[in-house]
Structure 1
Amino acid sequence: MTSPFSGRRSRGRTDGPRASFRQLLPFLFEHKRTLVIVTVLSVAAAVTTLAQPLLVGEVISRVQAGSPLEWLVWALVVLVIASSVISGYQHYLLQRTGTAVVFSSRRRLIARILHLPIREFDARRTGDIVSRVGTDTTLLYAVLTQGLADSIGNVLIFVGAIIAMLVIDPLLLLLILVVIGASFGVVGALSGRIRRHTSAQQEKVGELASAVERAVGSIRTVRAAGAAEREQAGITETAAEAYGIGVRIAKASALVVPIAGIALQLSLLVVLGVGGFRVASGAITIASLVTFVMFLFFLIQPLGSFFGAITSVNQALGALGRIQEVLDLPTESEDDAAIAARTAQTMQESSDAAIEFRDVRFRYPAAVIAARQQTEAEAKAMLASAHVDTSALETIEAEDTAGDVLRGVSFRVPRGSRVALVGPSGAGKSTTLSLIERFYDPAEGEILLDGRDIRTLDRDELRARLGYVEQDAPTLAGTIGDNLRLASPDATDAECERVLREVNLGEVLDRSPLGLDAPVGEAGVMLSGGERQRLAIARALLAAPPILLLDESTSSLDGLNEQRMREAIDSVAEGRTLIVIAHRLSTVVDSDVIVVLEGGRVVGQGTHSELVATVPLYRDLAKHQLLV
């Protein structure tokens, strides 16, 4: 059974992004100093290891000849102890470096994710992004801890053992190489399957994280709709699919792991059988046979490490493909470099417009449209399962799915004025503010800030001049002070308390002895909807930028708090420019200019009285108090 809200995507996809071993090297080379030390230790361990069979053979020969052992036994003891100490320290360095590689990859991912264009977040699941930072990076740890970094030492042991065995008895060596060659063929066939399955499993883990994150984030809606069992079934199904892929990986790995053991056992049987015959025939001595057997074990040991490294590296490369997919995405700054190369800077000698739209056209990317359509379908399915009428959802985000969202929009916002954007749902109001903030860039036309095309401005410089209050008024987990200082990290406690009381949030401060250090809970769950909205406005007011963008910022407030909010905004708006998406008529009537949008076009501009007389749509909206 599939939950209507489970958010399944790309069902049937079995192969995710794949990385090459070359893409793994930068993560390793960040720790090249440690890897050099590990390499030196590997060489030392190889020398001490290869010397042991030679000493054992010499001991046996002297015992058979009745000669004194002298220093040989002590030398053998020293070699065994030295080999163990070197291996232990090498293991510590590999564990530490593996942890450092995970940290390094997470640091790079976090730095990239937090600077990606907004379109990437609109087109991707939050849980999937989070899983790349957590689960996928962990698999890189196995690369260093399961035999890759000490491969040089293993190669030396492998080559040294072969040379010694060749000197002792070429015939026995030839028989063993046949067995080893066959095992290599099997491992090569299985390694590609492991990588494909790992990529598919990580994709499914990403879907699982997204489903859990969405369900937990909407737990009140889920409980109210009586959909907990259906959500559980849908998420469990995704987990079961990840489990099924994990079983396939386990099967493939289970075939790889015993190959080294089988190769050792077959090789040992060949050596004992054929070698015993050759001892009996006088072709080799007992000491030579014992030395050969010891070299055989040293030959199989690095071979087993190599097989284990193949499995871990293939799993890591599957996860690295998903990590690299994000690291290869351009950041906003990289986007700007491409845009600046083709955007002519527009200047006006004397412009009294703080913001100006000139024939702006915009359409959301196809991936964003698809993601939002799916989210809307999931919401409808959830409400339908609770027998809630979903007809009202037909117009939600309609602007995102109806081709061009803005169709030749032009208007001016005089400096120091208050401009209201009104229109039915889906008219393009919120998109207009997103374009001013440069969350997206227009396909055609220009948006000017003080006479300059905003695409020629540094994004940080642009956003420092803008105060933006989103429609959903998000609140970050943490304290009241943390939320207020998000854009004003140097604000004093007195300044924070002042702006909170200006937006009528003094009671929130007073009801907790912690004051500004009072926690707001995950997503502000400890505050009401109106309090979260006022907190978001207070954050913008504290920063006091020259331009304020308010997206239906009073929609969750009652009459008293709306009046207090308007007074606070009026007090801070003096000398500043305001662009307000209006939700209520009371917010609109005092505006210097009202811009009426419908279907992505401007159908009227003017004052309240002018628009009532000349624009039927505005007259109808005003009649219904703009509650649309």
Structure 2
Amino acid sequence: MSTSAPARRGFRRPTKDDGPRASIKQLLPYVFEHKRVLVVVGVLSVLAAAATLGQPLLVGSVIERVQADESLGLLVWALVALVIVSSVISGFQHYLLQRTGTAVVFSSRRRLIARILHLPIREFDARRTGDLVSRVGTDTTLLYAVLTQGLADSIGNVLIFAGAIIAMLILDPILLLLILVVVGASVAAVVVLSGRIRAATRVQQEKVGELASGVERAIGSIRTVRASGASEREQRTITSVAEDAYDAGVRVAKASALVVPVAGIALQVSLLVVLGVGGFRVASGALTIANLVTFVIFLFLLIQPLGSFLGAITSVGQALGALGRIQEVLDLPTETQDDKADAASAPAAIASSAALSFQNVHFRYPDAVVTARKKAETEALTLLEGARSDTSAIDTETAGRKPGDVLRGVSFDVPRGARVALVGPSGAGKSTTLSLIERFYDPTDGAILLDGRDIRDLDREELRAQLGYVEQDAPTLAGTIAGNLRLASPDATDDECEQVLHAVNLGDVLERSPLGIDAPVGESGVMLSGGERQRLAIARALLAAPPILLLDESTSSLDGLNEQRMREAIDAVATGRTLIVIAHRLSTVVDSDIIVVLDHGEVVGQGTHSELVASTPLYRDLAKHQLLV
């Protein structure tokens, strides 16, 4: 096995057209969602600004009285009081801003979670899980800086800035004009830099999303990675993405770092101008020492909000880069919104008395899903075979077929209370057929009827409440046995849970731990065997007791004894229910009422086992291969 490192991918400089963009207008709703707190912050900002602006004036008065050898009276105590009041207000204001910033992150995460969990299945098939997780975790965190680094307390800063400008104009207009030239140049430089910061931040967040996806992929397949001797190779691949994220972070750091010296130069040049020109004007009698000291203090007050403003430009630029990725997900339609469009475009269906009816159904996966699946297959081959170039199997398999062309004019009926089996070689479209029944996708053409109604006319929750679905390689959720069982039946009692576990021959699992059904199953059910995870998924579907059961390879991980017991359990609960079963082992479906044979997305035969052996060559070959004829 080669251990040479992969070629370092070149990191492209971000451009204005990279990725989704967000605007200030899209950012404001997140801020104004907490307008009551912001009003309080605004009032506190006004009070703090007034206390701050009063301090230079008192200092000037103190100097004048000292020069005139007059009593200071309460001026010193008034100055101390203003400093204390200003500090206390600033501290409380800081707390409110920190709390509100945290609330903004929470509200953005809540919106994202709500949207992600209701996205159409095609979006999950076309996107990387780690990237979606990154948007919820990392991207939303950048919104925190919007409130905590200068935007929300801008009212007070604006007042201090304006007050300082007015006071300096009264004290010496010439000095003020020179200061404004320096400050104007600084602001212009930072505005230019903010565009680079936003673009670099967007690229950085995208790379962080890719990194999260890579880590999630490797950890989720850690046993396969170790068994394939691919740990070093996976490490190099993920590290390469991490380096890209690092490069993007460095670009953000470089652009952000330029903001700091710009602000520092503005302060230093302004101070030198004031001291030089101001000293000359004091010497000429055009300005008093007290007014010069007061002017210098106002200069510092002017630079402070200016620094906050420059910092706000930087943080807002970073936030907008991340918000573009957040908004991209929030702008995606949910399944409910898809329902309205699908219902409007659904073709007229022919009435049917069957429980389920497929009528000339065609289906093709969206291009984005096909691309994502091909990429995933390429990565799987890379993981298992150890060479990126060995991906010819994918292209050969799909040669001569349109990408995603899965079902072609599929028609069959499922009578009420019947057991219908879908059989055929891998890639024939069997699992896709169940996905269409569940409305994870909708047909490209044709119609699927449930009790004579086009399922596109049904609310998805209403539809799925009538279906029990056990997918191929059904996942076990981290948590407990009871938590997995109650996923579709939250009100099920402990006794009902135990009964369904015994029905699928999982009673011995309850005896392993004194916790019983509250025993943990581990991450992805790692504490259960493959067959036990599959039986737990079937138990979950049986507990919900829907009128229609969809079982996709539900006995593929079971040994002969447990397969027989599972068949007996399914027979027991199948009374009065409609079953659609996918199976590669024909022994599990030979007694089905109807067997539908699929090949390359087309129905090539329907009937009982004996009828198909006589009429359908493909089925006969499958049966011979499995010694059933």
TM-score normalised per structure 2: 0.95
User: Cα RMSD over matched residues?
Assistant: 2.4
**Aligned equivalent of 2:386:** 385
AA partner of residue 587 (structure 2): S
Question: Aligned pair in 2 of structure 1 residues 386, 558: CA closer, same or farther (>3 Å)?
Answer: farther
CA 1:380–1:5 in structure 2 vs 1: closer, same or farther (change >3 Å)? farther
- Equivalent in the alignment of 1:606: 607
Structure 2 unaligned runs (5+)? Answer: none
Displacement of 1:17 in angstroms is 1.5
Aligned residue runs from structure 1 range 414-563, under 5 A:
414-563=415-564
Q: State the distance in 2 between where 1:183 and 1:159 align.
A: 17
Deviation at 1:69, TM superposition (A): 1.6
Please, which of 122, 126, 129 is the counterpart of residue 123 of structure 1?
Answer: 126
Alignment-derived partner of residue 135 in structure 2: 132
Q: What is residue 20 of structure 1 aligned with on the other side? A: 23
| Alignment match, 2:268 | 265
Q: Which moved more, 1:392-401 or 1:199-208?
A: 392-401
Q: Secondary structure at the match of 1:415?
A: coil
SS in structure 2 of the partner of residue 405 of structure 1? strand
Of residues 94-103 and 502-511 in structure 1, the stretch that sits farther from structure 2 once superposed is 502-511
Q: Which residue of 2 aligns with 1:305?
A: 308
Distance change >3 Å, CA 27–CA 555, structure 1 → 2: same
Question: SS state of the match for residue 478, structure 2?
Answer: coil
Task: Return the letter of the residue paired with 1:608.
Answer: H
- Measured against aligned partners, the alpha-carbon deviations of 1:28-49 in whole angstroms (never above 9, x if no partner) come to 1110000000011111111111
Q: Which moved more, 1:479-488 or 1:15-24?
A: 15-24
**How far apart are 1:9 and its partner, in Å?**
11
CA separation of 1:367/1:256 partners in 2, compared to 1, >3 Å: closer, same or farther? Answer: same
| 2: CA distance, partners of 1:13 / 1:369 | 29
Equivalent-residue separation in structure 2 for 1:9 and 1:562 (angstroms): 50
Q: Which residue of 1 aligns with 2:147?
A: 144
Change in CA separation of 1:571 and 1:386 when aligned onto 2, cut-off 3 Å: farther
- Distance in 2 (CA, whole Å) between partners of 1:391 and 1:274 is 76
Note if contact 1:227-1:386 (Cα within 8 Å) is conserved in structure 2: no
Residues 5-43 of structure 1 show CA distances to partners (whole Å, capped at 9, x for unaligned) of 99x999858422221011011111110000000011111
Distance in 1 between the 2:554 and 2:536 partners?
11
Gaps of 5+ in 1: none
Q: CA deviation at 1:216?
A: 0.3
Match of 1:343 in 2: 346
Q: Does 1:594 align with 2:595?
A: yes
Check conservation: 2:11, 2:244, Cα contact below 8 A.
no
Number of equivalences: 623
Q: 1:425-473 deviations in whole A, cap 9, x for unaligned?
A: 1111000000000000001100000000000000000000000000112
Cα deviation for residue 352 of structure 1 reads 3.1
> Structure 1 residues 30 and 444, CA, compared in 2 at 3 Å: closer, same or farther?
same
For residue 574 of structure 1, report the CA deviation from its aligned partner. Answer: 0.3
Q: Tell me whether 1:315 sits opposite 2:318 in the alignment.
A: yes
Q: Say if 1:94 and 1:145, in contact at 8 Å, map to a contact too.
A: yes
1:180 aligns with 2:183: yes
Stretches (4+) displaced over 4 A = 1-6, 8-13, 344-347, 389-403
Q: How does 1:162-177 map to 2 (within 5 A)?
A: 162-177=165-180
Q: What SS is found at the alignment partner of 2:489?
A: coil
Other structure's SS at 2:232 match: helix
Deviations 1:93-140 (A, max 9, x none): 000000000000001100000000000000000000000000001111
Change (3 A) 1:4 1:225: farther
**Structure 2 equivalent of residue 616 of structure 1:** 617
Kept in 2, the 8 Å contact 1:465–1:545? The answer is yes
Amino acid at match of 1:444: D
| Whole-Å separation in 2 of the counterparts to 1:18 and 1:3 | 40
CA distance in 2, matches of 1:10, 1:488: 51
Structure-2 separation of matches of 1:452 and 1:31: 46
Q: Give distance in 2, aligned partners of 1:355 and 1:608.
A: 21
**1:573-584 to 2 correspondence within 5 Å?**
573-584=574-585
Look up the equivalent residue of 1:541 and give its one-letter code: L
SS in 1 for 2:408: strand
- Map of 1:217 onto structure 2: 220
Contact kept? 2:139, 2:325, Cα under 8 Å: yes
Query: Where does residue 252 of structure 1 map in the other structure?
Result: 255
Q: C-alpha displacement at 1:625, in angstroms?
A: 2.3
Is this contact kept in 1: 2:204–2:248, CA < 8 A? yes
Equivalent pairs: percent with the same residue?
A: 79
CA contact (8 A) 1:396 1:425 kept: no
User: Contact 1:593/1:605 (CA < 8 Å) preserved in 2?
Assistant: yes
Paired residue type of 2:334: T
Aligned partner of residue 355 in structure 2, secondary structure: strand
